[in-house]
Each structure stands twice: as structure tokens, then as C-alpha cells.
Amino acid sequence: MQEERREIGIGLLVRLAFACVLVAACAAVPAHARVKKIQITAKESPTFGGYAWPGVGQYEKIVGKAFGELDPKDPKNAVIVDLQLAPKNAAGKVEYSFDFYILKPIDLAKGNHKMMYEPPNRGRKTLGALNRGVGTNDPGSKKDAAALANSFLMPQGYSISFSGWDYSAVSTTGDFNTTITLPVAKNPDGSSITGPSYEYIVGSGTSYDLSYPAATLDKSKAILTHRVHLNDKPETVPASDWQYNADGTAIALQGKAFVKNDIYEFSYTAKDPTVNGVGFAAVRDWNAWLRYETKDDAGTPNPLAGDITRIYTEVSSQPGRLLNDFRYLGFNQAENGKQVFDGMMQWIAAGDGISMNYRWSQPGRTERNRQDHLYVEGRFPFANVASKDPITGKTDSRYAKCELTHTCPYAMEIFSGNEYWVKAASLMTTDPAGTKDLPDSPFTRIYFMSSMQHGTGRAGTKGACQQLLNPLDSQAVQRALFTAMDKWITAGTPPPASQYPKLSDGTLVKPDQESTGFPHVPGVAYTGFKTTRYLLNYGPDFYKTGIPTINPPQFSAPYQDNPANGPIYPSFVPKTDADGNDVAGVRLPDVQVPLGTYTGWALRAGPQEGDGCEGSGQYIPFAKTKAERLASGDPRLSLEERYPDVETYSAMLHKAVENLQRAGFLLPLDAEKMLNKDLTNVLNKGPAKTAAR
């Protein structure tokens, strides 16, 4: 009996202890996906003018503002620079807010239970390219029934979401631009943090808004320089020739405007840095809240509660660099430990990160040939697989952290020829010493869109460049690869093999004309001018703390006196064929059966003659006839020599389209549209020959 009572007592103690553990555990469980509150400011149901997609039905639009908070003590947030110095509420949390925009089937049961999330580019939505033109900054306003029927995402039943993450994006009333409101870091005593800040100014106008307010209006503590060409020596602008505005938030030249497209650089002491890295957590927590939570703290229902089984991203340019760092910094693991994104379609981001998780960072910057230099963007690691930095000796990869937590997203890395010339994209597929190709990551495929510029150029225009802009359009390939990514994730179906230039087969080369094989075309300048990646010195502890003490940076010792000798991460460009079109990669029908030369690079016209023309590429038409070609000295065959008639051209184009579709780079609907393209006057040989056909 005594033994029985003893056993009962022990059992009771165990149960009580277990209950206490449960209570303690429950008390200790942190709230996850800390979107505390959503505030719906507009709802349209149905949206899209009431259009209903077969089998899916009508959609609704939900617009509003979300309010979040972060625990500075949570290890998942520890990577955010200056989070510990941000103001905290009574619970010890850091608060922020952002805009959001949702499109969803009214009846979620009829949707496909997947969401496409887009972090907007500088606040503006870029959905239209993937979605067959149904985009704009307010996609739900589209009412054209034919266009809606032809769209890509809604007929499949996708929910779609956008949210603000970039403090430099401007929120516009009625235009649905998205931005984020961030905390400002302060010293422990509440005083302003000050430090070195830097502005690279290429524009026009009479004044320039600073990214951070000046800590002092003493002009002797700042330097403004000016130059016309990138390789010119910067000339100091006398302090008497410029001024601050009253509150130190802008500068202006005395009595004149900044010269359009010239380069001005402004170094000064700033104050009150925003904690920009919170933007990563805002993307993480918004998507995790939509995916895993049912309501906010006030009881407002989650519009997508219990519906989402997969989240894929779609981006263009700047937000792709955001997501490169998002993966690298470990933000694809939600606070509840679960995965946020299943798949990412990275369009024209290549191996670069973003100037965001640093003090005095500027997320709106993007470095190109002569644009936004000396910001933290092209930083090791560049690749999705492990490689060794030959300068620092470190080994790392963009997927290292998510592999440890088993939260890695699959990704389609798609980029243009422009990324090789202005973003050093080859570092994504070679070791940083530039000696060998890297293997594929098991989570990613890499697709180079041969001969493309950064996005699609306006046909028939030159802009600031010497030649016509490159009109190649890869939207159809993006749709095919988005579909392939979905099948890869949901069914395990392997996507098309990676396609990009390599050192091993001679299709990835140095940028000089002899190495690339680019033809000597009359009237076309070739300089081999490209962006170079350096290890820059922002101060001794910058790469540990994210806080610069030198800004703008110097070239790291011992290379300050001769930065041309290093420390450089060697990078390369695609080799071309005899026409000047890139050999490797996914070659669009217009590249396989060309009417001219398409390049990912371009040079500026005057007055900045010869400098890089940023994201632009070129279209250099072939001569129409052999006689015209010979008269000009053009080494490229003429249209007459290539295609004796439009029927020959059409047959070759059809074969190129069919081959791309067979390889998985075109969907049937997009292939059909290409095949049905009117080619009547495409060779433009003159009225007589056109009439004869």
C-alpha cells in the first residue's frame, strides 16, 4: 500500500511537473510572424471589372497597411544591423509598418492554393511582364476582357501579393506605390547617431535630396566633386558654389542646375540612419503571416488563412538583388522555423546583393558601368554553391545558411548579357579567382538570355546611347521557366538544364574584342568597357559589423595607390559569333535567325561619349543587300545573302521556335503566337520585292 501510494505520488508529481513544463513552454513560446495588425484601406470585390476566369471565378483586391514588430533578442533577427539601437515599445520590440496589395480568388477553394509574391521594384509593380501585360501599379484596374483571358497567373488560380520593403521608395496616393516606414537608430542616450555618408549623383535639376540628413551645415565638413566621364579625375566644386537647404536634407548648386548625366559625388557627415535591414524581416514576416496565421492581434482575419501551400516569387532587377541577400542572410526561415518561399524566379539580378543591411545603406542604388559606384552590392559570396574567396580566404555560398535550417528555396536564375557587362555576372558561375566553372546548386538552375539588354528596350530608339536599343523580349521564356519551377517543386520534374557561357568550353572570355570575337562593324565603337568587382575598404570592422567608418570606401590595402592591380575578383563576358550575337545561353528566335546584331552592352553618345550606357544594349541591323554591305565594309552577311525570300526566313524562324518549345523554354500558347507573327515585310527589301511575294 505504501509502495502504491508512493507510485501514485511519483506519478502525480511527474504529471504536475509535465503540466508545469507545458505551461512554462506555452508562456515562453514567442509569437511568430509578427505582423501585429493589418489595416485594410480599400477592398474591391470583384475586381478586374468583374471578369471571371473559367474554373476559378472572380478575383478581389485588398489594399492596406500592415504593422509589424521584431524582437531584437530573437537569433533570427540578430543579423539586422543596428536593430539593437532602434527604439523599442513597452514590450521591448521594434516596430515598423508597410503597404500591401493582394489579389485573390473570391472563392479560394477554386484557386490553386499557391501565391505569387512580388517585392516591388522601387515601390512599383513589375508583374506585367510575367502576366502577359496584365500588370500596372494597380493590376486590378485592368478591365479588358481579351487581355484578362490571355493573362498568365489568374487563369491558373494564383493569389498574388505585393508589399513594401524599400524605405527609398515613395508611396503615392491613389497610385498604389508601396513603401515601408522604418525605425531610426539612436545612441543609447537617445542622441543622433552620426557618421560618414556618400551620394553618387547622376541626373539633372536644381537640387538633390540626400539619403540621410546632414549632421552639420558646416560646408567645410563635406566635399562635392564633378566630372564628365567616369575615368576623368574628379574636380572639387568650391564650397561657395553649392549650399545645403535649411534642414540639411538636400544640396543645390548656386544659381545653376546639375549638368544632366555628368557625375557628381558628395561626401558628408550624416545623422539618423534608418534600420534598412528591417525590410528583409518585413518580407519574411508578411509572407509567413499570410501562409501560417489566421488573424492579427486585433482579430482581423488573414485574407488567405489556411489556403497557401506554396509561395513563389517573381522579380525584376532590384528586388532580385534583395532576395539574393534575403536567402544568404537566412530570412527564408520564418520565426516559427518554417520555410517562407518555396521557389524564386530571379530575373536580371545575377550574383549581386543590395545596399541594405548596412548603416548608411541606400537600397535604391544599383551599380552599372558609370552609375552608383562604391556602394555595397557586389560582395562575396556571389554564387549559390560554396567557393573560396582568394582575397580573404573565406569559404561561403548564398545557400549556406538555408541549407543548415533545411529552408532553401528552389530558384530560376535568369539574366541578360547586360549583367555580364555591368554586374560581373560571371562570378555567379565561376570561382572568385576566375580559374574554373562552378557546378550547379541542387536548388537552382541558371539561364543566360543570350544577347539581351537589362530588360526590353524600346525598338527604334537610342536614348543616351550611340546605337539603337536592343528590343529582345524574354517574357515568354520567363513564363515557361516559372511553370517548370512549379513542376520541379510540386512534382519533382527536372527543369531544363542550365544554359550559360563557361570557361571550360571557351564561351566565357575576357572583354577585349579579339577575345569576344565581336566583328568590326563600321560606325560601331567597341571598347570592352565593363564593370569590375573589387574588395572595397569601408573600415577595419565593416564586414563584421556592417558599420562603415570610411565612406566612400577605399581600395583595400595594399592596393590604394594602384587599384587597377587589385584586389579584383576576375570576371568575364560571353563570346560572340561572327555576327556579334552571343554564342551560349538560351537564344531567342530573333537571335537564332537574326536580322542584326544584339548586344547586352552599349556606349553613350555625347557629351559623355564612350562611357557605358548602363542597362542598355544595342541593335545593329544587317545591311539589306550584298552591295550595300560591301560598300560600307560590313563583315556581317546581308539580309539578301542570308534569306533569299521571306519563306526561307519564316521556315528558319519556325524551326527555332519549335526547338525552344521542345527544350522547355516556351509554353505552347507563347510558341503559337510567335509562329503566327506577320512576317510580310520583315526583310524590308523594298516595295517591288515585297509586292512580288
pLDDT tens sequence across 418-451: 999 999 999 999 999 999 999 999 999 999 999 9
Answer with the residue of higher pLDDT: 481 or 555.
481
Cα angle: 49, vertex 54, 55; to 5 degrees: 120
Residue 682's CB is within 10 A of a number of other CB atoms, namely: 16
The sign one gets for the Cα dihedral 289, 295, 297, 298 is positive
pLDDT digits (tens, 9 = 90+) for 499-554: 999 999 999 999 999 999 999 999 999 999 999 999 999 999 999 999 999 999 98
Distance CA 64, CA 42 (A): 7
Beta sheet of 235-236, edge-to-edge order: 194-201, 263-271, 223-227, 235-236
- In our burial notation (b when 16+ CB lie closer than 10 A, e otherwise), range 316-334 reads bbbbbbbbbbbbbbbbbbb
Position 17 scores a pLDDT of 41
Binned at pLDDT 50, 70 and 90, residue 665 comes out as very high
**Spatial separation of the C-alpha atoms in residues 80 and 86, rounded to whole Å:** 11
SS3 176: coil
Cell matching residue 428: 555567379
The mean pLDDT value for 51-67 works out to: 98
Of 603, 552, 571, 617, nearest to 378 (Cα)?
A: 571
**The pairing of beta strand 410-416 with beta strand 343-347:** parallel
Q: Where are the beta strands (DSSP E) in 465-587?
A: 508-509, 533-534, 536-537, 554-555, 568-569, 573-574
> Which residue, 586, 427, 571, is CA-closest to 509?
571
Contacts of 414 (CB under 8 A, 6+ apart): 345, 346, 347, 348, 447, 449, 474, 477, 478, 481
Pairing label, strands 554-555, 536-537: antiparallel
Angle at 181 between CA 329 and CA 294, to 5 degrees: 75
What is the average pLDDT across 156-171?
Answer: 94
Helix (H), strand (E) at residue 159: strand 159-163
52, 61, 46: which is closest to 103 by C-alpha?
61
Q: Among 62-66, 87-91, 564-568, 614-618, whose mean pLDDT is lowest? A: 564-568
The C-alpha atoms of residue 50 and residue 140 are separated, in whole angstroms, by 10
DSSP helix/strand/coil, 604? strand
Q: Is-contact 425 369, C-beta < 8 A?
A: no
Q: How confident is the model at residue 563 (pLDDT cuts 50, 70, 90)?
A: low
Residue of 156, 183, 129 lying closest to 475 (CA atoms): 129
Spatial contact of 274 and 184, defined as CB atoms under 8 Å apart: yes
- The per-residue pLDDT of the chain, averaged, comes to 92
Q: Can you give the pLDDT at residue 32?
A: 60
> At 683, which amino acid appears?
L
3-state secondary structure of 515: helix
DSSP conformational letter for 497:
P
- What does the pLDDT read at residue 236? 98
CA 260 to chain centroid = 26
The C-alpha cell of 41 is what?
Answer: 484601406
SS3 of residue 389 by DSSP: coil
Tell how many helices (H) and how many strands (E) occur in the chain: 15, 28
φ, ψ (nearest 5 deg) of residue 58: -85, 160
Asked if 162 contacts 120 with a C-beta cutoff of 8 angstroms, the reply is yes
Burial of 659 (0-12, 13-18, 19+ CB in 10 A): middle
The three cell numbers of residue 440 are 550547379
Q: Does position 692 have pLDDT exceeding 80, yes or no?
A: no
Is residue 412 within 8 A of residue 495, CB to CB? The reply is yes
Q: Is the pLDDT of residue 4 over 70?
A: no
* Dist CA 365 CA 317 (whole Å): 11
Cα separation, 212 vs 266, in Å, equals 12
SS3 630: helix
Q: Calculate mean pLDDT across residues 155-172.
A: 93
Q: How far apart are the first and last CA of the chain?
A: 110
Contact partners, residue 191, CB within 8 Å, separation at least 6? none
**Residue 24: pLDDT above 70?**
no
**Predicted pLDDT at 687:** 29
What is the pLDDT confidence band of residue 565, given thresholds at 50, 70 and 90? low
Q: Which cell numbers hold the place of 375?
A: 556602394
Q: DSSP assignment of 178-205, as one string?
A: --EE--B-B-TTSPBPEEEEEEEE---S
Question: What is the mean pLDDT of the segment spanning 269-298?
Answer: 98
Residue pair 169/364 in contact (Cβ under 8 Å)? The answer is yes
What was the pLDDT predicted at 562?
63
- CB contact set of 594 (below 8 Å; sequence gap of 6+): 579, 581, 622
